[in-house]
Each structure stands twice: as structure tokens, then as C-alpha cells.
Structure 1
Amino acid sequence: MVHGWPGSFYEFYGMIPLLTEMSDSTDLVFEVVCPSIPGYGFSEAPHKTGFDSVCAARIFHKLMRRLGYQQFYAHGGDWGWLVTSNMAQLEPRIIKGLHVNFAPPSTLGLPLALSLMFGWWFPRLFGFTDMDIQRLYPCMEKLVKESVAESGYMHIQATKPDTVGRALNDSPVGLAAYILEKFSTWTCHDFRDLEDGGLTRKFTLDDLLTNVMIYWTSGCIVSSMRFYKENFGKGLDQPHSKMPVHVPTGFACFPNEVMHSPKLWVKQKYHNLVAFSPMACGGHFAAMEEPQLMAEDLQKFIKTIEKKTKQP
């Protein structure tokens, strides 16, 4: 299971016992590996430029081979979505199944463009649900305005990561403010209007500060932010962005995710989409916010794959 920014391996802490211990006789029991992307947490930062998601995918494949796994399932959100998707693209025979909870469009293809233009008037034609309509329209407000309002950090980190990163490494309060703001706004849009950001409505202070301390004690905020520059600096038309993913894929669609992805859009990239699960609640840090829901969906998805592989 692979994390993103500004998260860490600790995002999955609450999920681990739900996956490694059997709660009933039908549960699958897993060995769970939660690595840190190089440059995050206690994983050494890359020493050369150009370390992007594909490089991370290669390293994680090497890690799993050294741990003795010939085949395995992968899960990811945020950057973890891209890293695990790249893993599936690089070695599809090794990834038995891919489960993600974040899947923004890689390219603006014709189906996506047409669905945006006409989905409001003909939702059934594009398979849009009520949640899709609510999250996508009106487009100018829900997509353009929201993207501009919430993507300032991304522009900074994709262009000048060292500048702001050095400042954050010098101030624990500044670092906490920079990270925790995301755990507020990316968990629920309405939390932006609350004085305390609604942080403790979904998380405990211990969990939030544990994640912050992983960044503070390791001093990794600069290298973690540089991952944006290494990926976006190469442009948005990288070969992997145009390549489909053919391994069996499951998508957990959380209602408060930063960027909403209807089923039609997800299928443009993931050609073997075997499960699309609209979730009852949850936002961007779903594994940390709703570990029970995420674990249940992961169990359900993998049971489906295992059942298919055992059929004659």
C-alpha cells in the first residue's frame, strides 16, 4: 500500500489490523507492506534528479522481489495511485490486482470532453450518478474555480520546492500548519469555513501529529515536495500517461475526494475495471479517515479477483 503527499506510511496504520487479522470466517488475511516513497518519511531521498513515479515503481518492484513476493496486490491513493498504476503498467503479470481511491484523468480524451459538455443534460448517456452531477456541475465553479483555489501548493512544489521547503524545515509550527491545512480542506470542503478546520472531526490529534512528526524528525519535507517537480517538470504527456492499465482494477469512490472521477473517466485508463464502489463517506485521506470502509472494499475487491482466478 503506497501513500501520497502530505501523508506517509502512517496513513495505513489503522487499516493494518483489519487486513492482517480475521474478523470472520470469510475474511482474507494479508501480509501488508507499506513502503515510503523515496524522499518521504525515513526512506532515503534520491541522489539524482529525474526521480519520478516510474522510478519509484521500479524500486518498489525490486523491494517486493527481495521480500520474496512473486505476485501481489497493490493499493494506492494520491501519489500512491500513480506509483502503483505505473507498477501495473511495468509488470502486469506480477500485479494480481490494483485498488485505488484516486484516479484523476491522465489525458483529456473525447469521451471525457463529451461527458463534461453534455453530461448535465444527458447524465444517463454517460452513466453519471447523482453524486457525479453534484460534484462536476456547474463546471466553472466545481472544476475550474475549485482547482485554482486548491492547487496553489502544487504550483509551488512543481516549480520551487526547495524554497518553501527550507522554510518549513526551520519551523515546526509552520510545517504543521502547511501539512494540517490539507488534512482539513481535502477531508471535507465545508471544513474550510470552520475556525478549527474540523481537524478532530475525522482524525485524532495524536494521528495528525504523528504524521507531522514523521516529516519533522526525518527532515523530508523538501525531498517530498521535490517529487512534484520531478513528475510535473517532465510535462503532462509522459508515455505512461497515455498507456492503459490492463490488470484487474478496483476503484473506491469517496464522496469528498479532492478530484471526483466518474466511472466513465476511470474506465478510460483502467480497461479492466472489475469494481467501482461509491463509498458512503470519506475524503482524500480515506485510509486514515475511514479505515474500516477502505479495508472492507479492499477485501471485497480481492475476493472477486481470487474467485475469478480459481474458476476453471
Structure 2
Amino acid sequence: MAARVQASHLYPRRHEEGRGRAKGIMWLEIILALLLGFVIYWFVSRDKEETLPLGDGWWGPGARPTATEDESVRPFKVETSEEEIEDLHQRIDRVRLTPPLEDGRFHYGFNSKYLKKILSYWRNEFDWRKQVEILNRYPHFKTKIEGLDIHFIHVKPPQLPSSSTPKPLLMVHGWPGSFYEFYKIIPLLTDPKNHGLSDEHVFEVICPSIPGYSFSEASSKKGLNSVATARIFYKLMLRLGFQEFYIQGGDWGSLICTNMAQMVPSHVKGLHLNMALILGPYILTLLLGRRILSLLGYTQRDLELLYPFKEKVFYSLMRESGYMHIQCTKPDTVGCALNDSPVGLAAYILEKFSTWTNPEFRDLENGGLDRKFSLDDLLTNVMLYWTTGTIASSQRFYKENLGQGFMANAHDRMKVYVPTGFAAFPCELMHVPEKWVKAKYPKLISYSYMARGGHFAAFEEPELLAQDIRKFVGLLELR
């Protein structure tokens, strides 16, 4: 009897040991499968110098007219009115807020206690007329492309060194940003000598608004994605007389510029990015752990920005991607609410300028919004969505690009054979190591670990981004 009792006590231990071995085998099989998938993906995708077809489109209302499209470039001016400002004030006055939880800070989203302070400033101190004057400091234009009125600013250098020509540079914003993100970096690129930089590289900057954002007309039809936008912006550059040019982007701008480089590589002299959408199978290698990755050539800085994996990758992406699921599936539903409430719109947009600038800002009562930005700048960006009524159309861009599923588009699987520079800002939503960037962009000639900064690089750290663009172009021109 004693022997039987003793043996019975061993069964649970044997059972646990068996489960442990089974789990170990399961994880080994998963890791081997991931590695095999990665090897197959690398082998199939390597050294295929493909280009995206240029194609054509019509995004205006109704059928495409038989008449030739008007290709004139027309001056445009941002304007406002007393009625517009009065309507905004009335809506702010009627706000109904939900009290925040005690010690909620920004962990539940935008803290309504701090939102009250922003609303007070917006209602009583923010001067939209003054900000409109600031917006009009740079020349604005519109031109019709594929049925849509496309808005852009075009800033030429105020002075040039003798016997030199400016380098045309297309800069593309993302969501929930706007062309206004580039207002502080533009003078560093177009007038470097008067801003403490050498005039070795002087740029002529073109910043368009993505269709459905700010003053660019929204598509009337389904399907206007990053590829169509890349084609539209390529046509814009041709219309402005540029056969060769540099391009730069973050967020959606990084994908649009990548698509342009895939579509017309002979016209793109160089591509500079501060974000890259290349998670794919590469993110799965992080499951191998720090030690193995260090043996595979990942730098110490890469490991610092990627580990601990659960917190810096998995939990971070889960916390920050809820909006994306909504906008990839039912953008118009939340769009209806945000387009009707300036307060809701401000909370929805400004929350991104908090946590996407630095994830640690979630721990602050004001979301750290005053650490990197002024309220005037933040509210000007919000006003560009509010006054144009474009929040819903801007959110549709997610459904058009990501609503078909993961890696569903041809360009997702294509490499980019244009000289590329990359600025890795430490507080970007997801760190992308140089090895990953080079796998997608084989002609990567410049990769920089930036000293500070997050997702809205041009808006937050214009000097750092300008210096990296100049560095990339300098390296490229030495080749």
C-alpha cells in the first residue's frame, strides 16, 4: 500500500515533466517553422528587380470625362471667416466631458482633466486668423490630377550660391499629420546658410497633401491607396518640371515614397525615410532572443530598442494599434462622430501626438504634449482637419491600404532599388534595425540611430531630420 501511495505521488510530477517536454518540442517546432518560412521568403524575394506598373486612375465623381484634364497649376490661399470661428466656439462651449479615473493619466487615452485646459486655450487664446497667416507664409497651389484637386506648398530657396541649382525634394506627411508638419524643417533645407548650416545642399521643397487630407480633394471612389497616391504625386512632380528628384517621408509618407521608388526608380535620385513598414517575417526573428540576435549581427542599440520584447514590441503594438483596426474596417463610423465634434477630434488626434512622441508620456497628466510642441502648433494641425472636414476621408486611407489583409499587396513583397537613407528615431512606434531595412532597400547607403525623437520627426526634431537628409544626399553625391 505504501508503495502504491508513493508511486501515486510521482504521477503528477511525471505528468508535469511530460507537459514540459511537449511544450519545449512545440516551441522548437514553432521556431524552426518560423526560420524556415523566413529562409523561403528571403530566397523567393531576393534579387528580383521588379517595378510597380504605373497605371492610371480616375477618382473624381462620376465617369471620367472625355475632355482633356485641366493641367494648370493655380495659386491657393488658406482662408477663414467669422462664421467658421464662431461655429467652433459654440461647439466648444457645448462640450460634455467624461471625468477621468483617479490617477488615470494617459493610460486610458486622453485625460479629460487636461483636455479642459486645452479647450480653454483653444476657445479663449488660440488665434486661428494668426495661424492662417502663418500657413500662408509659404506659397500654396492646387492642380487637377486624376480627377482630384491636389493641394501642395512649393518653397524655393530665397538665395542660391553662385553656379548652383536647388535639389528638388518631395516631402510627404502621414496620419494624423499634415503638410504643416514640415513648416519648421523647410527653412533648414531651403535656406540653410541663414540657419547655421552650410549651403552645400540647398533644396527646393514640395509638400503635397494626401488626397482626402486638408486641402486635397477626397476620392469619390473606392481604392485610392498609397500606390495611386504615389502615381499622383509623381505626375505632380512632372507637372512642376522635375524629371529627377529626391523624396522623403514618414508614416504614410514613407509608404507613398517607397511606392514611388518602386514605380519610377529612374526618376527618383534618392529616397529618405524616417519610418519603414517592413515587419513581415522579420519581426518573428525577435522570438529567438537577445543572445541569438547578437550573434546574427544585430547591434547593441538594436537590442536596447527591441527588448524586452513583450513590452517594447508586443504590448506596445497592442496598446497603440486599436485605432488602426477601426480605421482599417469601419472608418466612416468614427469619422461621423469626429467630424461633428471639434473636441472629440482634438482628443483623438492629440492623443497620438502624446504617446507616439514618447510612450513614457502615458505616465503624465498632460500626456507630455507640452514637452515637444506648442499648443498653437498642435491646434493648427487639428484645425486643418476640422475646417476642411477631412477626418473621415483621411481615415479611409487605412482601409484602402490595409483592409485587404497582411502582405496582400504586390509592393509589400517588392524590394526598392533606389539609393536610400534611413533615420531611426528611438521613440518610433517600432524600431526597424538596419538589417531589416537593407533587406527591403538593398541600396541603403545611410542608416542613422537618431539621438532623440519619435514618430512625428519633422514636427518634433526638424534640425535632426534636416541634418540626416543632408548627410544622406552628401553620401549619395559622393558615389
Question: 2:184 is aligned with what amino acid?
Answer: G
1:65 and 1:43 map into 2 onto residues whose CA distance is 18
CA contact (8 A) 1:41 1:218 kept: yes
Question: 1:141 is aligned with what amino acid?
Answer: E
1:235 Cα deviation (Å)? 2.2
Q: Does 1:221 align with 2:394?
A: no
Deviates more, 1:219-228 or 1:119-128: 119-128
Question: 2:369 is aligned with what amino acid?
Answer: L
1:306 Cα deviation (Å)? 1.6
2:240 to 51, 54, 67: 67
Match of 1:300, SS state, is helix
Deviations 1:265-303, CA, capped at 9 Å, x for gaps: 111111110000000000000110000000010011011
Deviations 1:240-281, CA, capped at 9 Å, x for gaps: 000000100000000000111011111111111000000000
Deviations 1:44-97, CA, capped at 9 Å, x for gaps: 001110111000000000000001000000000000000000000000000000
* Aligned position for 1:189: 359
Deviations 1:131-155, CA, capped at 9 Å, x for gaps: 3212222323322221111100000
Question: 1:232 is aligned with what amino acid?
Answer: L
* Aligned position for 1:163: 333
Q: Does 1:31 align with 2:204?
A: yes
Match of 2:224, SS state, is coil
1:107 and 1:183 map into 2 onto residues whose CA distance is 26
* Aligned position for 2:227: 54
The number of aligned residues is 305
- The alignment-based identity, stated in percent, is 62
Deviates more, 1:158-167 or 1:123-132: 123-132
* Aligned position for 2:409: 238
* Aligned position for 1:282: 453
CA contact (8 A) 2:317 2:429 kept: no
1:99 and 1:25 map into 2 onto residues whose CA distance is 20
Question: 2:386 is aligned with what amino acid?
Answer: W
* Aligned position for 2:475: 304
CA contact (8 A) 1:106 1:241 kept: no
2:300 and 2:359 map into 1 onto residues whose CA distance is 18
Deviates more, 1:290-299 or 1:264-273: 264-273
* Aligned position for 1:80: 253
Give runs of aligned pairs for residues 106-255 of structure 1, distance below 5 A. 107-108=280-281, 113-114=284-285, 116-236=286-406, 237-255=408-426
CA contact (8 A) 2:186 2:205 kept: yes
Structure 1: gaps spanning 5 or more residues: none
Deviations 1:16-58, CA, capped at 9 Å, x for gaps: 0000013244531111000011011100001110111000000
1:193 and 1:214 map into 2 onto residues whose CA distance is 28
Rg larger in 1 or in 2? Answer: 2
CA contact (8 A) 1:119 1:125 kept: no
**RCO higher in 1 or 2 (8 Å CA, sep ≥ 6)?**
1
Deviations 1:190-233, CA, capped at 9 Å, x for gaps: 10110001101101111101100000011000000000011112
TM (norm. structure 1) is: 0.95
2:359 and 2:473 map into 1 onto residues whose CA distance is 31
CA contact (8 A) 1:106 1:269 kept: no
2:466 and 2:413 map into 1 onto residues whose CA distance is 30
* Aligned position for 1:262: 433
Match of 2:463, SS state, is helix
Match of 1:33, SS state, is strand
TM (norm. structure 2) is: 0.62
CA contact (8 A) 2:255 2:277 kept: no
1:120 and 1:182 map into 2 onto residues whose CA distance is 30
Deviates more, 1:65-74 or 1:23-32: 23-32
Deviates more, 1:153-162 or 1:127-136: 127-136
CA contact (8 A) 1:101 1:252 kept: yes
Match of 1:284, SS state, is coil
Deviations 1:111-168, CA, capped at 9 Å, x for gaps: x544x13350134333323332122223233222211111000000001100001100
2:183 to 8, 13, 16: 13
2:316 and 2:284 map into 1 onto residues whose CA distance is 18
CA contact (8 A) 1:131 1:255 kept: no
Cα RMSD (Å): 1.3
CA contact (8 A) 1:74 1:98 kept: yes
Q: Does 1:40 align with 2:40?
A: no
CA contact (8 A) 1:127 1:263 kept: no
Structure 2: gaps spanning 5 or more residues: 1-170
